[in-house]
Amino acid sequence: MRRRTLLQAGAAGLLAAPLAEPKPAMAEPLRFPPGFVWGVSTSSCQIEGRGDRKADSIWDTFARIPGTIADHTTPEITCDSYHRYPEDVALLKGLGVKAYRYSISWPRVLPDGSGEPDPRGLDYYDRVTDALLQAGIEPWLCLFHWDLPQALQDRGGWGNRAIAGWFADYAQLMARRLGDRVRRWAMFNEPQVHAVMGHGLGEHAPGLHGSEPMAAAGHHQNLAQGRALQALRAHSDKFELGTVMSLQPVRPAQNLAADREAAAIWDAAWNRAYLDPLFRGTYPARFLPLVEKLVQPGDMAEIRQKIDFLGVNYYSPMFMRADPAGLLGTNWGALPVGMRTTAMTWGIDPTGLTDILSELRTQYGNPRVYITENGAFFREPPAGPSGRIDDQERIGYLRDHISAAHHAIAAGSNLGGYFIWTLVDNWEWAHGFTATFGLAQLDRATLTRLPKASYDWFARVAAANAV
């Protein structure tokens, strides 16, 4: 069992109260400012399947290692959106959302990571983008959601500083190809998760362990982001450029000096090692010693870029404890007594979202923010006579977080939209298909998409706020 799952599950088992009865869905959805963007997010590796892709990503390689994926599945088929994207677009249209965040599979368009593109990969993203536009849905394109070409991992991956140039070249290729139709570009999705889970704790691809690979992945992603932002800015002044981070309030598991310090270290490694370089051109003091050797003259100026938006992915707060044997002397701690959890054993706390938005407002200059992921996995009842899964717990979770977002706007946050994670149950990384976050269920045998009650509910929220 994985470290995060094990510790939080243990904690939840001992301390957390059983899930409370979900409240009924909002009868009158909250009103958001005109122009507020409602959307849904997905990622290439989790939905596309291989299709006719020639080259592996690091997740293909990782999933072949016995014991890495909970249900021993691989991303070979997932939702087969490579072939079935018209069904996804039809679902989006039925939802009434006006924005869709999806990502490019870097190895699909550049099998070697750099050099010669594969026209089939580029054609695929043309088709998806055109289908979205025809349906009246704005494409929000993310360049990197963890599926690095294996060919680049073989050259050192995020441990090799040269990757910053490879990434900027790849970004330019995509801008040349899709820049006439795509205006919103996110450079990265959750660089901290990729660095920590993939390069520090070994629970995600590429399965590396330790603070050194973690810090190198962090700094080189930051640098790559800075280079790509400059390249895309030079390409077009019409682009809206940003990036997406997983931001989580970090709290001490117990009110002990050692846990308070563990929380501060983890806050630096998880949140501020990505926010501070981008907005301030510095690393936080508690993270700096890890990257000092890697930072070359000029790096921080390249990383500190003006962005048009910050994407915030929010699910839960974190509770940390001191652990001399753990990464950076920290480890996940027990959740507060009575805190409800999702089936991921992640604590449910919508005020964590308002806390994050308030920090961005007060400490980082109140940037334009979009919540680019929020959602939940709960054990679901089987489909009822209507054929719909009645996922009231998900509806309750979404309603409470949308309501927290509404509070943040009232408090002055520059929040412009909210995207749900995710459209259809998909391949949830090391959890395989065992963790389902979709507004629609995936029938794994037929690959049919079956909307759940939350799909209808979210359609009503979007419709009530349509402008």
Smallest distance, Å, CB 298 to ligand IFM? 31
Task: Pick between residue 190 and residue 302 the one whose CB is nearest to ligand IFM.
Answer: 190
Smallest distance, Å, CB 64 to ligand IFM? 20
Q: What are phi and psi of 126, to 5 degrees?
A: -60, -50
Task: Pick between residue 190 and residue 355 the one whose CB is nearest to ligand IFM.
Answer: 190
Asked whether position 392 contacts ligand IFM by CB under 6 A, the answer is no
Catalytic, out of 48, 302, 373, 393: 373
* Residue 212 designated active-site: no
How many residues make up the chain in this entry?
A: 467
75 vs 433: CA distance, rounded Å: 10
181 vs 44: CA distance, rounded Å: 19
Task: Pick between residue 25 and residue 245 the one whose CB is nearest to ligand IFM.
Answer: 245
Burial 176-202 (b: 16+ CB within 10 A, else e): ebbbeebbbbbbbbbbbbbbbbbbbbb
Q: Which residues contact 97 (CB under 8 A, 6 or more apart)?
A: 38, 39, 40, 137, 458, 462
Which two three-digit tokens encode residue 128?
């998806």
Q: Which residues contact 462 (CB under 8 A, 6 or more apart)?
A: 38, 95, 96, 97, 98
Q: What x/- string results for residues 162 through 201 when contact with ligand IFM is judged by CB under 6 A?
A: ----------------------------x-----------
Compute how many residues bind ligand IFM; rule: CB under 6 A: 8
- Cβ proximity of 378 and 348 under 8 Å: no
Smallest distance, Å, CB 273 to ligand IFM? 18
462 vs 143: CA distance, rounded Å: 26
Helix axes 81-95 and 453-464, enclosed angle (nearest 10): 50
- Cβ proximity of 439 and 95 under 8 Å: yes
Closest by CA position to 407, among listed 458, 352, 328: 352
Paired residues of 311 in beta bridges: 244, 370
For residues 428-467, which are near ligand IFM according to CB under 6 A? 428, 437
- Cβ proximity of 392 and 40 under 8 Å: no
Smallest distance, Å, CB 346 to ligand IFM? 9
Asked whether position 147 contacts ligand IFM by CB under 6 A, the answer is no
* Residue 373 designated active-site: yes
Smallest distance, Å, CB 151 to ligand IFM? 22
Task: Pick between residue 59 and residue 287 the one whose CB is nearest to ligand IFM.
Answer: 59
Helix axes 119-134 and 81-95, enclosed angle (nearest 10): 20
Asked whether position 393 contacts ligand IFM by CB under 6 A, the answer is no
Smallest distance, Å, CB 43 to ligand IFM? 5
Smallest distance, Å, CB 432 to ligand IFM? 12
Smallest distance, Å, CB 421 to ligand IFM? 5
Asked whether position 421 contacts ligand IFM by CB under 6 A, the answer is yes
Task: Pick between residue 5 and residue 313 the one whose CB is nearest to ligand IFM.
Answer: 313
307 vs 242: CA distance, rounded Å: 5
Paired residues of 130 in beta bridges: none
Q: Which residues contact 386 (CB under 8 A, 6 or more apart)?
A: none
Catalytic, out of 48, 190, 302, 428: 190
For residues 209-268, which are near ligand IFM according to CB under 6 A? none
451 vs 428: CA distance, rounded Å: 18
For residues 328-387, which are near ligand IFM according to CB under 6 A? 373
Task: Pick between residue 69 and residue 168 the one whose CB is nearest to ligand IFM.
Answer: 69
Task: Pick between residue 227 and residue 394 the one whose CB is nearest to ligand IFM.
Answer: 394
Closest by CA position to 276, among listed 262, 261, 291: 291
Smallest distance, Å, CB 429 to ligand IFM? 6
Q: What are phi and psi of 310, to 5 degrees?
A: -115, 125
- Cβ proximity of 449 and 78 under 8 Å: no
Q: Would you give the DSSP letter of residue 197?
A: I
**Radius of gyration of the chain measured on its C-alpha atoms:** 21
Q: Would you give the DSSP letter of residue 269?
A: I
For residues 279-318, which are near ligand IFM according to CB under 6 A? 313
Asked whether position 43 contacts ligand IFM by CB under 6 A, the answer is yes
Pairing verdict, β 250-252 and 138-144: unpaired
Task: Pick between residue 190 and residue 267 the one whose CB is nearest to ligand IFM.
Answer: 190
Task: Pick between residue 74 and residue 313 the one whose CB is nearest to ligand IFM.
Answer: 313
Q: List residues binding ligand IFM (CB under 6 A).
A: 43, 46, 190, 313, 373, 421, 428, 437
Residues with catalytic roles: 190, 373
